[in-house]
Amino acid sequence: MSTINHSSAPQTKLLWIAVALLGAVAFAIVALNRGEAVNAAWLVIAATCIYFIAYRFYGLFVANQALGVDSTRQTPAARHNDGLDYVPTNRYVLYGHHFAAIAGAGPLVGPVLAAQMGYLPGTLWILAGAVFGGAVQDMTVLFLSTRRDGRSLGDIVRAEMGVVAGTIAGVGILLICVIVLAVLALVVVKALIGSPWGTFAVFCSIPIALLMGVYSRFIRPGRIGEMSLLGCLLLLAALIYGKTVSETPALAAYFDLKGETLALIIIGYGFVASVLPVWLLLAPRDYLSTFLKIGTIALLAIGIIIVRPDLQMPSVTKFIDGSGPVWAGSLFPFLFITIACGAVSGWHSLISSGTTPKMIENETQIAFIGYGAMLMESFVAIMAMIGASIIHPGVYFAMNSASGLIGTTAEQAAQVISAWGFVVTPEDITQVAKDVGETSIMSRTGGAPTLAVGMAQILSSFLGGRTLMGIWYHFAILFEALFILTTVDAGTRVLRFMIQDLIGNAVPAFKETASWTNNIIGSALSCVLWGYFLYVGVVDPLGGIWTLWPLFGTANQMLAAIALTVCTVVLFKMKRERFAWVTVVPATWLVVCTVTAGLEKVFSPNPNVGFISHAIKYGDAIAAGQLLAPAKTLGEMSRIVFNDYIDASLAAVFVLVVVATVVYGLINIWRALGNPRPTAMEIGLAGVAAGGSHA
């Protein structure tokens, strides 16, 4: 757009040179530091400068040169304008919509877990992954979908790569849904175990949502603002009263729950929310969590800028060798799997081919919305990395290591963690728990509690001081739990649809989505699918996250690999193979990472990494009649073996899906090269009057 014409002006050139210099200096301070604590502000400055330069010099290049966006081409919003689904929308408004749709728990949790290797490896991947991978993927899928009437990724794969490739991708999408829901729900369970305050506040969100639902349906229909304000105030009251609940033993007993109980409650909740009419529970909860999410992200950004805390975590720790306690595996490939969202997230390709392409005014806005929103998401991941790195490293490891590794008392934990080289006293660990109003913060794996401690430290140091730290901590837990649960119930519905679609191929009557019987059977099936992995994760003696997060990341990156493969195929079919490297490079990297990670998860001889060798280790012990810690009975032992084989099969399926997609991609590229004419199946022609930016 106009940026290009302006950039030739000497002042603009000087400005860009200044941005580049500032970014380089900030980046050097972050990356080359040895020993002294680095201020988080440098990380923020480096990231921001990189994003601006990346958008201006790479994002716009990919959009204008590689994809060839065409301002004269009609978009679906103009072609099908109905005032409802297809509406030409102001690009800033649409940016907000798109960002709210892609932002979620992923970019907040992944970087926290990755911090076990120090802040630098994760930060580099968040920046490079987003600039060259994630943002390119989001934008290109948005572009493809915009040129195909806003069709979904699955449809695009089917149309451009054939029915078989489409079906394989469909299975991949189904599996990623299952594993995403299970792992996200696991994060909530892990955050709420033995925390009456947090559990009370999160449980309160359900009656509050019901009240909001009734309010916006019958009392003041359609008043979104009033309803959301009411919900926020009630939620705040619940949060404050939660302190009293946690301090009153008679009340606290009701909300002091074990992991198994919480898992069953969440599974049951997912089922109920998916079966009930959406206006009653799902929609109001979604509204509340969306606004809370955007508000909290903004608050965190303001907090980091005002407080400018020092990073306590070393830039690189010794755990890059794969011996870390938070998750299993070495830097390559598992760091690139651990941080999926925030760098590259396959999930975004589903959103970029969802509602956003139906609202784009003009193709020239695709870079701003697709590439730009992903850079913002990447910035959220940087903030999460900051949140995890400003707390005491010893406390970080006490929170994120399973009790099987660090024991159950602060003394044991301090001893073990100090021996790892992160000197910490038992008082350091208990003091944090006291500050945030919990009985213990040890082994609160899953990332959310760690980020909550980081956020509480930042926010309380300019709003409220130490006395409000407990409130801020539980506010952060509530906010994460709230939007994870929204993903869980919305995802259960999507999963139900995909299951009905799949089974409906064999039993046509099952496709009927209006049927109550199908509704209940489909919802139950999808809850059982993700509920199984959730429950397994909760009872997993290694802490669940340690085992399942790499599987979650692999699934997500697998989907990104599929999306970037179809983008590459379409570039070839458009006869734009000269520029195909923009998607070939990230696609290759993701294929290498996911296949390596998947194969290691299946076949690695190290029982900490490979599922099969882990199963063999426990199988041999069973044969010898021995018990291996942390299992306590032979029954638990055989359950571990069984779960290992399930996880191994899942990882193997991920690898097969990626390999099959790549093979179909290569076949289609070969065919496209042999055809002298463009063969991409686009809808609409160039030169038809398109909507302008009449903002």
Footprint of another protein on this chain (CB under 8 A)?
81-85, 87, 89-90, 92-94, 96-97, 100-107, 150-152, 154-155, 180, 184, 216, 221-222, 224-225, 278-279, 282-283, 286-287, 290-291, 294, 340-341, 345, 347-348, 350-351, 353-355, 359, 483, 486-487, 490-491, 493-494, 496-497, 500, 513, 552, 556
State the minimum distance, in angstroms, from the CB of residue 517 to another protein.
15
- Is the CB of 277 or the CB of 605 nearer to another protein? 277
State the minimum distance, in angstroms, from the CB of residue 79 to another protein.
13
Tokens representing 569 are 């195929």
State the minimum distance, in angstroms, from the CB of residue 507 to another protein.
17
- Is the CB of 359 or the CB of 413 nearer to another protein? 359
- Is the CB of 483 or the CB of 572 nearer to another protein? 483
* Residue 37 DSSP SS3: coil
- Is the CB of 347 or the CB of 535 nearer to another protein? 347
State the minimum distance, in angstroms, from the CB of residue 492 to another protein.
11
- Is the CB of 216 or the CB of 445 nearer to another protein? 216
Residue type, 367: A
The closest of 499, 489, 410, 416 to 171, measured between CA atoms, is 499
DSSP, residue by residue, 54-107: HIIIIIHHIIIIII---TTSPPHHHHS--SSSS--B-HHHHHHHHHHHH-SSHH
CB 107 within 8 A of CB 118: no
- What separation in angstroms does the CA of 665 have from each of 160, 228, 372, 390? 9, 46, 27, 44
- Is the CB of 97 or the CB of 434 nearer to another protein? 97
Q: How far apart are CA 680 and CA 87, in angstroms?
A: 25
Helix pair 516-539, 163-192: axis angle to 10 deg = 60
User: Within 13 Å and on the Cβ side, how many CA atoms surround 389?
Assistant: 33
Straight-line distance from the first to the last Cα atom of the chain, in angstroms, rounded to the nearest whole number: 15
- Is the CB of 43 or the CB of 283 nearer to another protein? 283
State the minimum distance, in angstroms, from the CB of residue 311 to another protein.
25
The closest of 375, 373, 381 to 451, measured between CA atoms, is 381
Q: How far apart are CA 607 and CA 595, in angstroms?
A: 19
Class of residue 607 by CB neighbours under 10 A (exposed 0-12, middle 13-18, buried 19+): middle
Provide the strand spans (E) within 487-637.
Answer: none
State the minimum distance, in angstroms, from the CB of residue 586 to another protein.
17
- Is the CB of 242 or the CB of 522 nearer to another protein? 522
- Is the CB of 186 or the CB of 406 nearer to another protein? 186
State the minimum distance, in angstroms, from the CB of residue 14 to another protein.
29
CB 358 within 8 A of CB 365: no
CB 640 within 8 A of CB 619: no
The closest of 336, 301, 297, 323 to 114, measured between CA atoms, is 336
State the minimum distance, in angstroms, from the CB of residue 178 to another protein.
13
State the minimum distance, in angstroms, from the CB of residue 101 to another protein.
5
State the minimum distance, in angstroms, from the CB of residue 237 to another protein.
22
State the minimum distance, in angstroms, from the CB of residue 676 to another protein.
34
State the minimum distance, in angstroms, from the CB of residue 44 to another protein.
22
CB 592 within 8 A of CB 334: no
Provide the strand spans (E) within 202-360.
Answer: 310-311
Q: How far apart are CA 143 and CA 582, in angstroms?
A: 14
- Is the CB of 61 or the CB of 291 nearer to another protein? 291
CB 513 within 8 A of CB 484: no
- Is the CB of 390 or the CB of 498 nearer to another protein? 498
- Is the CB of 225 or the CB of 465 nearer to another protein? 225
Find residue 311's DSSP bridge partners.
38
Q: How far apart are CA 447 and CA 455, in angstroms?
A: 12
Cis peptide before 333 (omega within 30 of 0): yes
